[in-house]
Amino acid sequence: MAKRKVEIEIYSYGEYAEWNRESKSIPRLVAITETIEATVGTEFGYVLRIRHGKGKRLDFRIDHPPFPDKEGKVTPPFTGEYFVRSNDYEFFLGDCIWEPLHDKLGNWTMTTWLEGKIVAQKTLRLIAK
């Protein structure tokens, strides 16, 4: 029997309600938008709907505006990997704004790969509220 092809789509993107990272549920969507009026605590990103992908590894990267780390060096993009847990799955990729706000404003580009191929990419622009 032939294996089904993994299907991945951006289901939603924009601003989300505060997210409990320990929870299995995804955050609640507040607004579908590419421009987000940010304050400290604003959650943003995208949700992928993944079908037929159980056990597959997703690689991701979040490119963000240049802001300093604790040593004063520019923080590199956030990267990671995630294993899909079931054949009908939703995956949230995003971040939450922290102090100071001013250096987090600008374009945040989120990219997800499956088997070396880009399967989702979205740029969200954070502006001051």
* CATH number for the domain running over 7-128: 2.60.40.2390
Look at residues 98, 11, 88 and name the one whose alpha carbon lies nearest to residue 50: 88
What is residue 2's predicted lDDT score, i.e. its pLDDT?
62
Q: Rounded to an integer, what distance in angstroms lies between the CA atom of residue 59 and that of residue 52?
A: 17
Helix/strand/coil for 64: coil
pTM of the model: 0.93
55-87 pLDDT tens trace = 999 999 999 999 999 999 999 999 999 999 999
Q: What average pLDDT does range 82-107 have in this prediction?
A: 95
- Length in residues, the chain: 129
CB atoms within 10 A of CB 51: 16
Q: Where are the domains of the chain?
A: 7-128
